[in-house]
Structure 1
Amino acid sequence: MTFGRASLPRHKTLRYGLRKLTNIRSAAMHHSATKSGSPEEFARYQVGTNGWSGNAYHFVIQKDGVIYWCNDPEAISYHDGNGNRHALGICLVGDFKTQQPTAAQIDATQRLLQYLQVQIPTMKQVGIVDKPKQIPVAIKLNEVLLTVTGFLQEGVSMLPVRTIANAAGEKVEWIEVTQDVCVNGNRLNKIGKLKGV
C-alpha cells in the first residue's frame, strides 16, 4: 500500500466532514471510467472542476495492483451520493464497461477488503457503484451566471451545496454531532431545502 495522502491536491479551504469508524458499514466499489489515471489526476479534477475538498476515494487501486491510500477512513468523501456517510470509497483504475479489472487489481482488492474488515468490524457489505453521470448545470445567483458540475441520481440533479453557497457569499458548515449541513446557521434537509422554509 502506498501512502500519498499528504501530496494529493486539496481544496484551499474546504475539508471533508468526519465520522467515527463505527459509522462505516460498507465499501463502495467504483471504477474510474477512464482507461488510465492516478489519484493525483482524480484529485486535481475533483477539486478543480467539481469544487470538492479532495480526492473522492479513500483508496485507489492501479492496474498493477498498487493501492494508494487517499483519505483517512473517517473522512466523509464524495463518492456514493447518499451513501457517503457510511461507505468507504474504493476505486479501481479502468473503464469496466469496456475492460476487465486486472488480476493484480482483483488480488489487491481482496487483500485490502480483508484488511479493512479486520480494522473496521462494522464494515459488513461491499457494493458495486457505477460512476454517476456528471452534468453541467447553469444557475443564476444574484444576477451572476454560475456553472457547476453535478450528477444525476435516480433522475434527480444533485449539486454541490458548498460550491453554490460559496459563490453566493454564504457560509457553509458541517455539524458532526447532528450530521447536518448548515448554510448561514440554517440546517438543510436531505433534499437541500432550508428546514422550516
Structure 2
Amino acid sequence: FKNACGVYDGPALHWLVTACTAPDGSYWAVQAWQRMLPNYGVAPSPATSAWELRLSHWEGPIAELTVNLNWAYRRFHHIFGSYTYLGQPVHGFKATSVGVPLDSFGRNLYVDTFESAYGGGWKRENSFLMHRGSGAFCYGFYKHQWAGSSHPSGMGKRYRATIIGPGVTPDIFWAADALGAYDRDFDLTQHELQKQFYSGTKACRAV
C-alpha cells in the first residue's frame, strides 16, 4: 500500500529512528533505547542490554520533563524535578515496593551517568518512579547497597535521563553537564526551588 506519511515537522525527539507527519496532522515516531540496563553500572546481560523499539502516535504537545541539579549535603550531586503532560502531573496509582508500576499510568525515570566511578562512557545509574499525585521526583548520587553488593557514588561528568511518554506519546529525554565546584549561593537558591517542587509530595525533602 502507498505511504501517505509526509516529512516529520513535529517536536524534536531523542533516540529517534524514524518519524513522519500523517495527512490528518498527527505524528508517528519510532524511538530506540536501552530501558532495561541494570543499576549502578553493573554489566548488562544480553537480555538487559537490548535496544527496545518504541512506537508512538500523537497530536499536539508532548510531555514535559523538568530536571534541576544541585548538591546534597554539599557533597553529592542531586537531581529533582517533575514530569507533566498538558500541565498535569504524570504518575501512577499502584506500584510495587521497589517502584515498578502496576498500572498503565506509572512512569519511571531512567538516569544514566557519564565517566563515573562505574567506568568510561555512559552507565545506568538508577531508575525510579514519579511520585503519586505530584509527578515529582528527587534523587541523590550517593553510595548504594544493591543486590548484596556495595556500589560507589555514580557522580559523573554528564547526566541524561529518559522516560516513557504518557499514553502513546513519545518518550522524553533530558541531558546536562554535571555541576562544577560547590557554590553555596546557587545551592541555597536550589534548596528553595526544591520546596516548590515538593509541595505536592511527602516522598522528598529539600537537601
Whether TM-score is above 0.5 comes out as: no
TM range (shorter): under 0.3
Name the structure where helix makes up a greater proportion of residues: 1
Q: Which has the larger radius of gyration?
A: 2
TM-score, scaled to structure 1: 0.25
Name the structure where strand makes up a greater proportion of residues: 2
TM-score, scaled to structure 2: 0.24
